[in-house]
Amino acid sequence: MIAKIVTIDGPAGCGKSTVSRKIAARLGGRMFSSGRIYRTLTWLALEDKIDLSCFEDVAQLPLDHVLSIVAPDAQFNVLVDGKNPGDVLDSTRVTKEIHYISGNAQLRQLVLPLQRSIPSDLPVVAEGRDMGTVVFPDAPVKIFLTATSEQRAIRRHEELKKRLGEEVTFEEVLRQVIERDDRDSERDISPMRPAEGSCTIDSTECTIEMVVDSILERIPPEWIPETNPSTD
């Protein structure tokens, strides 16, 4: 088990990725996003034209392809057959179908050893839906980050327009956010919920810096280097 690990769980659009990157930088460590695994598998299923509703075929994906997690810099990357799919993983096409992958109990069990095998030579900030409850239940610091569905939809809508160049209505994004929340919290396997001993932080009215500072207050001081790397 990794000694210096911070888990940040929560729903889509609450700021987990941005906050995790900044916390990892302050610790001189790396950020791990479990969602990259499920997005990679979703993208792979779409590319292979696999019926996403067929649980058996979907569960075969990590057996038919080589999945690996590498740490070339401050963020872990998920490779499939040695290649990084890139920004296509964040597209609406993938997001709309990811629930088939994340809700597959057999698949989640198959990728659990992969998640726990991430390089641990540096501190790790792991973000997702079940980092503190399932993947790293013994993590010393556990955070559950949340925000209203409307605020999270605003953030996701801006990301789709600015970074991915997608034109999607706000109403459609909000609908997707609410539907995904329901699926993530109600699924039988690894439902999204605060981990035992975690601290819940509502980011609705907070800046990223405020959330980062709040989390840093809960991290042992000896984990934080005296000279911190840039968080830009």
Neighbours of 130 (CB within 10 A): 23
C-alpha closest to that of 26 among 209, 230, 232: 230
Is residue 223 a part of any domain in this protein? no
Q: Which residue range is the domain that position 25 belongs to? A: 5-218
Is residue 56 a part of any domain in this protein? yes
Is residue 178 a part of any domain in this protein? yes
Distance CA 6, CA 219 (A): 8
Q: Model confidence over 65-77: pLDDT tens digits?
A: 999 998 887 788 8
Is residue 230 a part of any domain in this protein? no
Average pLDDT for 155-173? 84
Average pLDDT for 192-215? 95
Return the structure tokens found at 44.
Answer: 């792979």
Does 221 have pLDDT greater than 90? Answer: yes
> The whole model's pTM is what?
0.84
Is residue 227 a part of any domain in this protein? no
Does 136 have pLDDT greater than 80? Answer: yes
At residue 228, the pLDDT reads 47
Distance CA 90, CA 95 (A): 7
Q: How confident is the model at residue 231 (pLDDT cuts 50, 70, 90)?
A: very low
Distance CA 5, CA 140 (A): 7
* C-alpha atoms less than 13 angstroms from C-alpha of 36 in its C-beta half-sphere: 23
Domain count, the chain: 1
CATH number at residue 178: 3.40.50.300
| Strand segments (E) across the chain | 5-9, 30-33, 67-70, 77-80, 124-128, 141-146, 199-202
SS3 of residue 30 by DSSP: strand
Does 229 have pLDDT greater than 50? Answer: no
Average pLDDT for 115-142? 93
Is residue 142 a part of any domain in this protein? yes
Q: How confident is the model at residue 46 (pLDDT cuts 50, 70, 90)?
A: very high
Q: How confident is the model at residue 227 (pLDDT cuts 50, 70, 90)?
A: low
Query: Please, is 88 exposed, middle or buried when counting C-beta atoms within 10 Å of its C-beta (0-12, 13-18, 19+)?
Result: middle
Is residue 175 a part of any domain in this protein? yes
Is residue 226 a part of any domain in this protein? no
Proportion of the chain above pLDDT 70, given as a percent: 97
Does 1 have pLDDT greater than 80? Answer: no
Average pLDDT for 136-149? 96
